[in-house]
Amino acid sequence: MRLFKGSVLGLLLLPSLALAETIGEVSTVFKWVGPNDKIVVEAFDDPKVDGVTCYLSRAKTGGVKGGLGLAEDRAEASIACRQVGPIAFKGKLKDGEEVFKERTSLVFKTMQVVRFFDQKRNTLVYLVYSDRVIEGSPQNAVTAIPILPWAR
């Protein structure tokens, strides 16, 4: 029971990250055994900025290893964030703050989205990249949202 209470407390202390919703997917490579390789499109709302939704497309490895969650997904990803309503900050934003994170291998590799606020241009900038414990990848994608008035 003590271990359970500690685990729940630990989860409550984690920073809030966005949860992705699958919008769609397309198969890219047929696999005889296990799921096909595919490109998945996911959407998530920025947990600290109302009125912003990001769309992330990324490769998911199929086959037996992919079906069991043991395969390592490729580092490539694309991101497009859009203003979908009036923008309102839910607290102070920190440059480089992690907004979304997903495991792309069993242990060592993750894909993450971080946010920057370009105050001079009144623009939110989102960067997606993949990293590894030992060696990260320079592959990345960026998108920007100018903060504009929202007609109601």
pLDDT, one tens digit for every residue, the chain (152 residues): 444 444 343 333 345 666 778 899 887 766 677 666 778 899 999 999 999 999 988 877 665 455 445 455 556 788 999 999 999 999 999 999 999 887 655 455 678 899 999 999 999 999 988 876 556 667 788 999 999 988 87
Both tokens of 56, joined, read 């992330």
Contact 128, 119 (CB under 8 A): no
Identify the pLDDT of residue 140. Answer: 87
Rounded CA separation 101/146 (Å): 23
Q: Please report which residue ranges of 53-149 form alpha helices under DSSP H.
A: 63-68
Identify the pLDDT of residue 37. Answer: 77
Rounded CA separation 104/59 (Å): 10
Please provide residue 128's backbone torsions phi and psi, each rounded to the nearest 5 degrees.
-110, 135
Identify the pLDDT of residue 85. Answer: 95
Where b means 16+ CB within 10 Å and e means fewer, 106-128 reads eeebbbbbbbbbeeeeeebbbbb
Rounded CA separation 2/27 (Å): 45
Identify the pLDDT of residue 25. Answer: 81
Identify the pLDDT of residue 34. Answer: 63
Burial class for 141, CB neighbours closer than 10 Å (0-12, 13-18, 19+): middle
Identify the pLDDT of residue 110. Answer: 77
Identify the pLDDT of residue 93. Answer: 93
Nearest to 135 by CA among 109, 115, 114: 109
